Structure 1
Amino acid sequence: MSLRYLSWLAVGLGWVWLGLGANAQDAPRGAERGRSLEDYRRFALSQQADAERGRLLFADEGRLGCAKCHTVDGSGGKAGPDLFAIGDKFARPDLIEAVLLPSSNIAVGYGTTVVETRGGEEVSGILKRLSEEGVELMGADGKAVVIPRAEIKERRNSSVSLMPDALQAGLTMREFNDLIEYLVQLREPARAQADDRRTPGTIPALARMVALRPVYAEPLKAPKIDGVESGLTGYWPIPGEQGAALVTHQTGIIWFMEQPRRGDAPPKLWLDLTAETYSKTGPNGMLGLAFHPKFRSNRKYYLKYHVFEGKTITTAIVERRMRADFRQDSGEPPRRVISVPSPGGDHGGGCVEFGPDGYLYFGPGDSGPHRDPQGNAQNMGLLLGKICRIDVDRRDPGMEYGIPADNPFVGRPGVRPEIWASGFRNPWRFCFDPADGTLWATDVGQDRMEEVMKVRKGENHGWNVYEAFERFSDAFRKSGETYVAPLMAYRRRYGNSITGGYVYRGRSAPAFDGVYVFGDFNTKMIFGLQESGGEPRVVRHLATCPERLVSFGVDGEGELYAVGFEGTIYRMDFSGCSLPTQ
């Protein structure tokens, strides 16, 4: 499945059409019989449109009823997702595809959840709350239904959208185009884009952009599972093996790749873990990999992926070993280091890294649903919504790992001792600066902003009390608690699904030494941030990835790579580029 927010888009815009579904069976007015999807697509890409007519159509409860399910001002709270600034988040072709093919990519959080009761009934809707008491779903009519836990026989995610198919048939092509134009024009107001170093309204591009050069001749692809979209998740150069790397795919496939001086070696299958990797719904699957600090002697490496156990999606961190030639997995039985159940099945985080202290850090997200209604990120009795720190070289009683003695909450009643920092929604990649050991992280936002932060021992980074610098909810606010703001955040003009990267410490581009490189999955933009004294000093648009930007990689020389979800690995070439001083 599309890893993060393209799926949100398809489902979100699918909700626009729910009001039309009832009429689509009855030759809705304005319908153009015999028109194909391609006819609508071509028309909306080539003809002028009227956003005001589209707005009236959006608001017409007698036709589409879009406003019944959606807000467009950031307030949220209805059955469908808020469409605030959706025109900043997605290009016109993406908006067209999402409306024409709403069931093609359905993410957990806005997809359909089906609850079967012990009495034989089935209740469908959007998952809004999951607790010990039961499950709360919201239907297309905006009404909430609570099913007590004692009455639930089974809860599952459906691959079918609540909206019926062929809904564009209820509109003329001109009306369809007008509606798309209205969505395109839903952009963040200029007043919200006022320039500020921490929330820049404008991120200028370099005078000469960083070049992205494909590492391999052909993209890496894996077969679809149950027909859902999936893609690459990471590029992991093997320490001490020049030009050799592992490439992870969301479905659980791992390839061994080399960069010979002439030509390209064909991809070699390293592991196929598709049978145990859960990647069918949401941003789940094979997401992270880390090499042990003593990898050259013990040959250990660690995978972070999702499994489905006991009817629950669970994050698993697993230890494996390579053969002595570093060209193949050893085939030895793996060791499950830790498991973190994710009841909401969303926001699983995407990173596992060893720190300079030799301990393993990993970051489960809040698990969803959207807005974290259970307050998981602020619940210190859970690992969800945290960055955690464990010792994989020692095993405490009853566990497959040890708790470092200097973890900030060791011995605190009711607090999980694995926690290093709290208050995260979905920390999609973090890294340690090899120069000073600073932990850099990014957190995918809810409605307004994407966050870049430096994370220190014991800090609370605020979600869901804050989203970046803005108050979000007081439901789980704690008296006397200190909430740490991010170093910087960008608004929807530049994307809605941040992808963390690395601090550049390579030798080929000394002008970029110390620059934190990150990007956005959906806009595909790559940014560089230079900070001084805890303040952003320079932020620039470095490049635009040809594919959706799912991850970055770094080799033994400190050089950086961009990972395209659609299958291409790009080497970042800084030749001829310079970074302004301010």
Structure 2
Amino acid sequence: MPPFPSRTLIAATLLFSASYALAAKTNVEVLQTDLSHPWALDFLPDNQGVLITLRGGELHLWQQGKGLSAPISGVPVVWAHGQGGLLDVVLAPDFTSSRRVWLSFAEGGPDNKAGTAVGYGTLSQDLKRLENFKVVFRQTPKLSTGNHFGGRIAFDGKGHVFIALGENNERATAQDLDKLQGKVVRLNADGSVPQDNPFVGKQGVRPEIWSYGHRNPQGLAINPANGELWLNEHGPRGGDEINIPAAGKNYGWPLATWGINYSGLKIPEAKGGEVEGTEQPTHYWKVSPAISGMAFYQADTFPQWKGKLFIGALKEKNLIELTLDGDKVTDEQRLLGDRKKRIRDVRVGRTVICMS
């Protein structure tokens, strides 16, 4: 196979052999080249194709035999600066009837400030337009930094949507309960706040908040084995984490971290890796792979992968395969490292699709 181009959509399928337990082999097919900063993807049903977001603000459809479509119209205007832009794309659980496509994006405000916003539109039958787009969530206050937007979206199958939000590189906001930076929020599908959210009715606390103390979430997924919400997030220099956000819990940043500043100095607010009143990560890396999108594999096509968690790695430029025993990581392998390309998102369809 020729060398990988710089930005590609790839499909990774497993070649099974009796020796798989010792060494998995993957066959990699290039589906699309020359994508400009791809960030997320999701599968349309009935093999209609794959929706792909480009961080600059375009939503495209990729189809077998046709390749990449022209930009789908009706996408909201995005703030495409720094790490901001068009971010996640997720089909609504009832997509077959509602045709709703959810997007997260950096939304600009006065004085060149920005925050994460989330909404949905209706995908036209000809797959060319996103109609009647409605914003149902806005991260407030908007801040002037251009980093750490988060933006991953996940549905719990019970009518709720979770949104993972970065702290916009303003560390203290992750512990400030009257701000939505550094939080996971939980909403009803219409954008309203569920009355059983942990902080509903508490003065000075945003009722949307589900959990807090997050730095820069990059992956969010529901574990199909038990319905738990799993999240991964970038640490600073070291300290990438996997967490299982529970209602009302504090996941530590910046008080508790296993990382240090990029300069090599200690995080000023940090009190150590284990801090009273904060939750320990389910798994962490002292040397950061720069983890990104993630997906659980529960299909039957590749039985050797069933129950495993796959996470893209930006710095390490590989696909991380994690074996789980309940909530514990018991084994860690690397795939696709020979490709030496950043993997931004991982989704499971008929094959495992990755994007770099």
TM-score of Structure 1 vs Structure 2, range by shorter chain: 0.7 to 0.9
Work out whether residues 116 and 151 of structure 2, in 8 Å CA contact, stay in contact via their aligned partners in 1.
no
- The amino acid of 1:389's aligned partner reads R
Where does residue 548 of structure 1 map in the other structure? 342
- The amino acid of 1:276's aligned partner reads V
Deviations, residues 50-77 of structure 1 (Å, cap 9, x unaligned): xxxxxxxxxxxxxxxxxxxxxxxxxxxx
Structure 1 residues 267 and 437, CA gap change in structure 2 (3 angstroms)? same
Do structure 1's residue 336 and structure 2's residue 135 form an aligned pair?
yes
Task: Report the Cα distance in structure 2 between the residues aligned to 1:215 and 1:368, rounded to whole angstroms.
Answer: 35
- Structure 2, unpaired ranges of 5+: 1-19, 261-265
Task: Report the Cα distance in structure 2 between the residues aligned to 1:475 and 1:501, rounded to whole angstroms.
Answer: 27
Deviation of 1:517 (Å): 0.8
Task: Report the Cα distance in structure 2 between the residues aligned to 1:562 and 1:296, rounded to whole angstroms.
Answer: 24
Do structure 1's residue 490 and structure 2's residue 291 form an aligned pair?
no
Where does residue 430 of structure 1 map in the other structure? 220
Where does residue 219 of structure 1 map in the other structure? 33
* Backbone CA RMSD of aligned residues: 2.6
Do structure 1's residue 534 and structure 2's residue 334 form an aligned pair?
no
Where does residue 405 of structure 1 map in the other structure? 195
Where does residue 365 of structure 1 map in the other structure? 166
Deviation of 1:476 (Å): 9.4
* 1:257 alignment partner, one of 53, 57, 62: 62
Q: Which of the pair has more CA radius of gyration?
A: 1
Work out whether residues 206 and 540 of structure 1, in 8 Å CA contact, stay in contact via their aligned partners in 2.
no
* 1:300 alignment partner, one of 100, 104, 116: 100
Task: Report the Cα distance in structure 2 between the residues aligned to 1:300 and 1:290, rounded to whole angstroms.
Answer: 9
Where does residue 241 of structure 1 map in the other structure? 46
Structure 1 residues 274 and 412, CA gap change in structure 2 (3 angstroms)? closer
Paired residues in the alignment total 326
Structure 1 residues 535 and 433, CA gap change in structure 2 (3 angstroms)? closer
3-state SS, counterpart of residue 105 of structure 2: strand
Deviation of 1:343 (Å): 3.3
Deviation of 1:472 (Å): 5.1
Work out whether residues 52 and 89 of structure 2, in 8 Å CA contact, stay in contact via their aligned partners in 1.
no
Structure 1 residues 254 and 286, CA gap change in structure 2 (3 angstroms)? same
- Determine which structure has the larger helix proportion and give its number: 1
More displaced, 300-309 or 333-342?
Answer: 333-342
More displaced, 430-439 or 378-387?
Answer: 430-439
Structure 1 residues 241 and 524, CA gap change in structure 2 (3 angstroms)? same
Work out whether residues 386 and 422 of structure 1, in 8 Å CA contact, stay in contact via their aligned partners in 2.
yes
Task: Report the Cα distance in structure 1 between the residues aligned to 2:21 and 2:85, rounded to whole angstroms.
Answer: 35
Deviation of 1:460 (Å): 1.1
Task: Report the Cα distance in structure 2 between the residues aligned to 1:467 and 1:287, rounded to whole angstroms.
Answer: 26
Task: Report the Cα distance in structure 2 between the residues aligned to 1:301 and 1:523, rounded to whole angstroms.
Answer: 31
Where does residue 70 of structure 1 map in the other structure? none
Where does residue 208 of structure 1 map in the other structure? 23
Work out whether residues 118 and 136 of structure 2, in 8 Å CA contact, stay in contact via their aligned partners in 1.
yes
Work out whether residues 356 and 432 of structure 1, in 8 Å CA contact, stay in contact via their aligned partners in 2.
no
Where does residue 319 of structure 1 map in the other structure? 120
Task: Report the Cα distance in structure 1 between the residues aligned to 2:39 and 2:198, rounded to whole angstroms.
Answer: 31
Where does residue 383 of structure 1 map in the other structure? 180
Deviations, residues 137-157 of structure 1 (Å, cap 9, x unaligned): xxxxxxxxxxxxxxxxxxxxx
Work out whether residues 349 and 365 of structure 1, in 8 Å CA contact, stay in contact via their aligned partners in 2.
yes
Instruction: Give the percent of matched residue pairs that are identical in Structure 1 and Structure 2.
Output: 23
Where does residue 302 of structure 2 map in the other structure? 509
* TM-score with structure 2 setting the length: 0.84
Work out whether residues 516 and 528 of structure 1, in 8 Å CA contact, stay in contact via their aligned partners in 2.
yes
Do structure 1's residue 354 and structure 2's residue 184 form an aligned pair?
no
Deviation of 1:206 (Å): 7.4
- Determine which structure has the larger strand proportion and give its number: 2
3-state SS, counterpart of residue 336 of structure 2: strand
Structure 1 residues 291 and 548, CA gap change in structure 2 (3 angstroms)? same
- The amino acid of 2:345's aligned partner reads S
Where does residue 459 of structure 1 map in the other structure? 249
Where does residue 420 of structure 1 map in the other structure? 210
Work out whether residues 469 and 486 of structure 1, in 8 Å CA contact, stay in contact via their aligned partners in 2.
no
Deviation of 1:454 (Å): 1.9
- The amino acid of 1:560's aligned partner reads V
Task: Report the Cα distance in structure 1 between the residues aligned to 2:270 and 2:303, rounded to whole angstroms.
Answer: 47
- The amino acid of 1:554's aligned partner reads V
Deviation of 1:236 (Å): 0.9
Structure 1 residues 350 and 549, CA gap change in structure 2 (3 angstroms)? farther
Deviations, residues 478-537 of structure 1 (Å, cap 9, x unaligned): xx9621111111232xx4421131111121221221111113102212111122243321
- Structure 1, unpaired ranges of 5+: 1-204, 223-230, 394-400, 565-582
Work out whether residues 445 and 467 of structure 1, in 8 Å CA contact, stay in contact via their aligned partners in 2.
yes
Where does residue 563 of structure 1 map in the other structure? 355
Work out whether residues 359 and 389 of structure 1, in 8 Å CA contact, stay in contact via their aligned partners in 2.
yes
* 1:309 alignment partner, one of 98, 109, 127: 109
* 1:287 alignment partner, one of 81, 87, 94: 87
Task: Report the Cα distance in structure 1 between the residues aligned to 2:330 and 2:259, rounded to whole angstroms.
Answer: 18
More displaced, 376-385 or 504-513?
Answer: 504-513
Structure 1 residues 465 and 350, CA gap change in structure 2 (3 angstroms)? same
3-state SS, counterpart of residue 350 of structure 1: strand
* TM-score with structure 1 setting the length: 0.52
